[in-house]
Amino acid sequence: MNSQIALRKLIRFALIYGPSRALFKAAGRLRLQIPFIALRLRRKKLDIAIVGCGQFAYSAIGYFLFRRFGCRVLGCFDISPRAASTLARGLGVPHQCADIDALLALPGLRTVYIASNHASHADYAVRALGAGLDVYVEKPIAVNLVQLAQLERVRRQSSGRLFAGYNRPFSSAVLDLRSQLQPDPDAGISLQCFVAGHVLAVDHWYRRPGEGTRICGNVGHWLDLFVHILAWRGMPQYLDIALSWANDSERDDNLAITIATERKDLFSIMLTARHEPFEGINESIQFQHADTICKIDDFRRMVLWQGAHLQRRHYWPKDPGHRNAIAQPYSRAPARNWQEVLDSTLLMFYVADMVRNAQRQSIFVLPQARQSLENLIASR
């Protein structure tokens, strides 16, 4: 990227996310020290650790923790020493640990944020929960049923708490929609998501066989949002799933998913990644239930109709929910119902398997999936 384009991107990001977040994003991409003197001065009690020190850990987790607490990160770990060292230098982290055991043994540690590669999330979370720590694990919380069963077994036994990094339910637009909605138990829900995502190279780590396909890597966000919204009214039992893809050799890219339920719900998501979006992921969401119609434009604007009543809302900086999601371990708000996360994860696994098997249509039976998980938890 030449300097002129890079400058334009920085300016555009500042207009979208605000100047400080744009600087964090740029510093994270360049692996630079954050250029804020206050970062060194605002030091609180050190009790947070970060596992996985890539761009998201630097520019999202690091940024929102800093905004809320100042310097509170005690230690970090990454399988790449360079990633760990640059994050430690940039965020003022005193302990760069050589392995996960050394990180979890740091005196005073209370909360662990996990943002490593997807296949490692569950294992790191199990170890941190086993140590009695609170854990925030980025999406996905697991990439297969065995991992999920192990994680859920330990979660139920641990004195620590577990939080999932699915951020859309914590966005201002979705929270505002929920506050205005009176769910009708007898009415269906329609939800449509159009997502222009990042272009992933053939050798991108998301594409490694053990990482769960792009369904776990990206699409799980909107499957989770669908489950979250269904839970406002009550979950269906049967989900009739249909898939279409543009390229047989990349079935998890340029993909359309349609889901219908026995409660007359209809959901669709199109993930398109034909060219890298200049402003990052761009998404449009449309919703209808009873007399409520809602359009959310890239979590920057929302239009809400309820009968004759019309509301328009603007969100600046852009708010896809990262701030509130990352704050979950320290929030006074009621925790998200964990069953929603389990249900969305089970649905995500099912869709991922359909993609792997080139299966275009199938019916996901939620009670059956829940029972399979319980059986696996009990068997070990």
Q: What per-residue confidence (pLDDT) applies to 40?
A: 53
- Is CATH 3.30.360.10 the right assignment for the domain spanning 168-321+338-378? yes
The H or E element spanning position 35 is none
List of residues 6+ apart from 80 with CB closer than 8 A = 53
Structure tokens at 206: 């998301």
Give the Cα separation of 163 and 138 in Å (integer): 9
Name which residue leads in pLDDT, 4 or 144: 144
Domain assignments of the chain as residue spans, ordered by start: 3-164, 168-321+338-378
pLDDT of 179 over the 90 cut: yes
CB 51 within 8 A of CB 124: yes
Greater confidence (119 vs 30) lies with 119
Question: Rounded mean pLDDT of 194-208?
Answer: 93
Q: Is the pLDDT of residue 298 over 90?
A: yes
Distances (CA, A) of 34 to 56, 231, 360: 15, 40, 47
pLDDT of residue 223 exceeding 90: yes
pLDDT at 38 over 60: no
Sheet holding 301-306, edge to edge: 309-314, 301-306, 292-297, 282-289, 189-196, 266-272, 255-261, 238-245, 361-365
| Tokens 């050394």, residue located | 102
Residue 47 has pLDDT above 80, yes or no: yes
- pLDDT at position 326, please? 98
The residue-averaged pLDDT of 287-306 equals: 98
Range from 43-52, 232-241, 271-280, 347-356 carrying the lowest mean pLDDT:
43-52
CATH architecture assigned to 3-164: 3-Layer(aba) Sandwich (3.40)
C-alpha to C-alpha distance for 370 and 380, rounded to whole angstroms: 16
Residue 160 pLDDT: 98
Distance, CA of 372 to CA of 33 (rounded, Å): 47
Region 7-29 average pLDDT: 91
Q: For residue 37, what pLDDT is reported? A: 40
Say whether pLDDT at 42 is over 80. no
pLDDT at residue 106 greater than cutoff 50 = yes
Question: Residue 354: which of 369, 364, 344, 345 has the closest Cα?
Answer: 364
**3-class DSSP state of 149:** helix
pLDDT band at 1 (very low <50, low <70, confident <90, very high): low
* Torsion sign over Cα 46, 49, 53, 58: negative
Q: What is the pLDDT of residue 34?
A: 63
Q: Which two tokens stand for residue 65?
A: 């923790």
**C-alpha 363, offset from chain centre:** 25
Structure tokens of 224?
């989770």
- In this prediction the pTM is 0.96
Q: How is residue 232 written in tokens?
A: 């406002």
User: What is the DSSP code string of 142-157?
Assistant: -SSHHHHHHHHHHHHH
Q: How confident is the model at residue 353 (pLDDT cuts 50, 70, 90)?
A: very high
Strands 292-297 and 282-289: antiparallel
Average pLDDT rounded to a whole number, residues 270-282: 96
